[in-house]
Amino acid sequence: MTGGASGIGRAVSRELSRRGAHVVVADLDGAGAERTAKEFGCSAATLDVTHAEAVRELVERVAAERGRLDAVFNNAGIAVGGTADELTLDHWNRTIDVNLRGVVHGVHAAYPIMKRQGSGHIVNTASLAGLVPAPLMAPYTATKHAVVGLSLALRAEAAAYGVKVSVVCPGFTDTPLLDHANPGLPQTAVGSGARESATRTMGRLYSVDALADDILRGLARNRALIVAPASGRLAWRGARLSPAAAVRVASLAVRRLRGR
């Protein structure tokens, strides 16, 4: 479980552990991973998902120690917000490195093992922003669309080998990601106000515990796309029915935010 020290990763790790799974909580925040692992009876690892070799070594070690690899959760990610004209290439590159390449590294390490053993489930965390127009965070939106595409393409290939692939697309969820937008990068008004904007948009943010239940229920049913909460599924369906209308709604939201 990458990004397992907090937020969605922490909640899913707790639920998996409660159900008897042996979970390895991996996170760039090694101390946070240790705390989470100790609380839930898991193992911990410090991991930077942008380092392909480190990801490969961890995945191969876990598979060797446990004798198999049942599931890999490529969940680590960062939030980056701002208008397209104010975001720098550093914003873009860091988002691509973590949100997209981090998933690629996890897939590249896990898929050959699962293919050989004829089983396993790869779970990639994207976002509702990977399914609908999500302005004021173009790098984040671009990478999440890419993760959705990667996951669905791999699912089509992997089915013949007994390997499952699912992609998780949460709407606004109450995670620390909203409090740490643009980490280590130039701050923007959108980034610094991410939680406030999300709360104003949704009224009440979805809980990570409820999302963890949704995720594990979706995996049990081998869902290709796990979209939650219900408001997120509604937005997704609306965007599929009328992409142009979805863009118009997103444009109105941008104008309202700029008016404030």
User: Which residues are annotated as catalytic?
Assistant: 140
> 193 burial class (0-12, 13-18, 19+ CB within 10 angstroms)?
middle
CA torsion sign for 96, 234, 12, 21 is negative
Give the C-alpha distances (Å, rounded to integers) separating 91 from 62, 142, 160, 176, 183. Answer: 33, 12, 38, 19, 9
H or E stretch at 164: strand 164-170
Q: Is there a contact between 70 and 164 (Cβ–Cβ < 8 Å)?
A: no
Neighbouring residues of 123: CB distance < 8 A, sequence distance ≥ 6: 71, 72, 73, 74, 75, 165, 166, 167, 168, 215, 219
Q: Quick check: helix, strand or coil at residue 46?
A: strand
H or E stretch at 238: helix 230-241
Question: Cα–Cα distance between 40 and 255 in angstroms, integer?
Answer: 44
